[in-house]
Amino acid sequence: MPPILDALFARSLYSSTNQISGFRLYSSGSGGGGGGVQENPKPFILKQCIALLLTCASSKYKLRQIHAFSIRHWVPLSSPDMGKHLIFRLVSLSGSMAYAHQIFTQIQSPNIFTWNTMIRGYAESENPSPGLHVYREMRVNSIEPDTHTYPFLLKAVAKILNVREGEKVHSVAVRNGFDSSVFVQNTLVHMYAACGHAESAHKVFELMPDRNLVTWNSVINGFALNGRPNEALTLYREMGLDGVEPDGFTMVSLLTACAELGALALGRRTHVFMLKVGLNENSHAANALLDLYAKCGSIREARKVFDEMEDRSVVSWNSLIVGLAVNGFGKAALELFKDLERHGLVPTEITFIGVLYACSHCGMVNEGFAYFRRMTEEFGIMPRVEHHGCMVDLLGRAGLLKRAYEYVQSMPMQPNAVIWRTLLGACTMHGDLALGETARARLLQLEPKHSGDYVLLSNLYASEQRWTDVQNVRRSMLKEGVKKTPGYSLVELGNCVYEFVIGDKSHSQSAEIYAMLEQIVKLLKSEGYAPRTANVLADIEEEDKETALSYHSEKIAIAFMLINTPVRTPITVVKNLRVCADCHLAIKLISKIYDRAIVVRDRSRFHHFRDGLCSCRDYW
C-alpha cells in the first residue's frame, strides 16, 4: 500500500456509522450517481482519489480500496473524472467487467473516452459481446464514435466472429470518414481475416495508402489461418519488395502457412532468415518452427530446434510429442513424455492426445489405457471427446472391434460423428461388415451428407465383393447430392508448391509425367506388384481400375518429382485424404526401385518410405 493511501485510510477510520448508512443510501441511488448523497465531497479528497487512481497501476485489490475510500468520503462517481479514471484503471488491470459496468451505469452522461474504455474492456475480456451493446447504447445517446471507438469495436467483433456486425461497423466508419485511419484499417483487416473472410481483408488491404508492419501481418495471417497459404506466401514476398522488415508475428504466420502446405524448403529459408535477424530466440516463432518441421515430416530438424531452444514451454514439448507420434515414432514420443515428467512439467490435454495417438499407432493397447487412467486420476484432466476418439482408435486399430464398440456405448458423453467414423474406419480395415453397418447407421443420423462415410462404406462392401451394395451406396450418394471430397497432393519444387488431383493433366509437363508413370508401373510389376483394386469403386472395368489407380494424385506428384529432382533427393508429399492401400504399396516399391526417401503426410498420419518399407509398418 503506498503511504498516501495509508494516510487516507487512517483518516477514513474516523468515519462515523452515520456515513456507513449513507453509503447504503448512496449505493441504492437512482443511477444518477448521487441519489442519497447529502454531503458534498471535500475537493481535496476527490483530487487525492484521482491521483491515487493515476498511480495505482498494479493491483485490482488496491483499486477496490480506493473505490471504497471514495464512497466513504462521499465522492460521487458522477463527479468529473472519478468514474472515468476508475473504469480506465479497472479495464487496464483486466478487472471484472461486471464491476466496471456497475460503475459505468452510475456515471451521469459519460464522455466518449469512458464509452470507448467500456468497449475496449469488453473487447479484451473473455465475453466481448456486451461491447456491441455498449456501442449501440452510445449511439442511442447520440454520442458519435471517434477514431478510438472503431479499433476496440472491431476487435470485439473479430473475437465473436460476427462478420455481419463487422460490416455494419465498417459502413459507419466509412460514413463518418474514419476509414482512412491506419488504426481503423488495420483492425478492419484483422476483423475480416479472423472471421474467415480473407478476400474482404485483402480488399481493405489493397485500398490502404499507408501500410505498416501490423497491416502486413494481419493480412498474411488472415490467409495463413484460412487455409490459403499460397496467398500468404505471395504477400510475404510483396512485403519484402515493399521494404517492410518482418517480425516474430510475420514468422509465425509464414511458418504456419509453410507447415500447412508442406513447403519445407521455404520453411528452411525462413529459418535461415530468423537466425540472421535473431528471431529464432522469439519463443513463439521457435515453436512455430518446431511445428513446421514436425508437420513436414522432418522430425530430425524438429528435434534439433527443440534441443536448441532456450526456454521450452509445455507448448514446445507438446509440438514434438505430437510430431513424433504422427510421424510414426511412437516409442520416441513416449520417451519424450517421460522426459517431460522428469523435467517437472505438467502435461496438458494436448500432451495426452499425442501420447494416446502414439500408443494407438504402435498397437500398445494396455499402455494406452494406463496413460488414459493417469491422465484423469493423476493429472485431473477431464477427457474430451478427442481423447475418447483416441481410445476407440486404439482398440479399433488393434482389431479389438467388439471392445471398441463397447467403449463407444459406455462413453460418458454422446459419441459424435468422428467417434462413429473412427469405428467405421476400423471395421473397413478389419473387414467387419455387421458392425460397420451399425456405425454407418449412426453416422447417417448425425451427419447424413458426409462424403467420406459413403466412401468408407463402399470400400467395405467392395472388399467383400458385394458390388450391388457398392452400387446402392453410390446411387444414394448421387441422390443425396453428396460430393466426394476431391483428393489432391502437394509437392514443393523450387519456390513453388504444385498441386495435383486425380488424373491431373493440367501441368505443362503432363506428357512426361504420364510417360514416367507408365515406366513406374512397368518396373513395379517386375517387382511383383499387383494393383490392389478392391478400393476402386466397382463400376469401372478391371483394366480401367488399374489405370485409375496409377493416376491417384500422390502417384502423379511423385512422378513429377522423380522427373524434376536429382537422384536420391528426398520427396515430400502432402495429401488431403488418407493414402489408399494400392498407393501405399506402390510408393513402398518406388522408394526401393528409385532409391528415394519419400515422406507422405496424409489426413491422419505420416508415412516415411525407404527401401521398400514404410514407417507405419502397413498399419494405418
Residues in contact with Zn ion by the rule CB under 5 A: 552, 580, 583, 607, 614, 616
Q: Is 490 helix (H, G, I), strand (E, B) or coil?
A: strand
CA distance 141 to 138: 5
CA distance 79 to 68: 15
Are 394 and 356 spatial neighbours (Cβ–Cβ below 8 Å)?
Answer: yes
The CB-of-328 to Zn ion minimum distance in angstroms stands at 7
CA 563 distance to own-chain centroid: 36
The CB-of-417 to Zn ion minimum distance in angstroms stands at 24
Q: Which is nearer to Zn ion, 72 or 584 (CB)?
A: 584
Are 79 and 45 spatial neighbours (Cβ–Cβ below 8 Å)?
Answer: no
Name which of 552, 546, 491, 498 is nearest 522 in CA terms: 546
Q: What residue type is 316 in one-letter code?
A: S
Are 502 and 569 spatial neighbours (Cβ–Cβ below 8 Å)?
Answer: no
Secondary-structure breakdown of the chain: helix, strand, coil percentages, each rounded to the nearest 5: 65, 5, 30
Q: Which is nearer to Zn ion, 66 or 583 (CB)?
A: 583
Q: Which is nearer to Zn ion, 190 or 552 (CB)?
A: 552
Q: Which is nearer to Zn ion, 256 or 553 (CB)?
A: 553
Phi, psi of 95 (to 5 degrees): -75, -175
The CB-of-365 to Zn ion minimum distance in angstroms stands at 20
* All cell numbers assigned to 56: 495505482
CA distance 600 to 585: 13
Q: Which is nearer to Zn ion, 287 or 489 (CB)?
A: 489
The CB-of-289 to Zn ion minimum distance in angstroms stands at 26
The CB-of-545 to Zn ion minimum distance in angstroms stands at 12
Q: Which is nearer to Zn ion, 427 or 598 (CB)?
A: 598
The CB-of-418 to Zn ion minimum distance in angstroms stands at 22
CA distance 308 to 170: 45
* All cell numbers assigned to 601: 503426410
The CB-of-521 to Zn ion minimum distance in angstroms stands at 13
Q: Which is nearer to Zn ion, 337 or 620 (CB)?
A: 620
Q: Which is nearer to Zn ion, 419 or 587 (CB)?
A: 587
The helix or strand, by DSSP H or E, that contains position 159, with its residue range, turns out to be helix 149-160
The CB-of-104 to Zn ion minimum distance in angstroms stands at 60
Q: Which is nearer to Zn ion, 462 or 583 (CB)?
A: 583
Name which of 385, 441, 395 is nearest 418 in CA terms: 385
The CB-of-361 to Zn ion minimum distance in angstroms stands at 10
Q: What is the largest CA-CA distance in the chain?
A: 102
CA 250-254-256 angle, 5° bins: 120
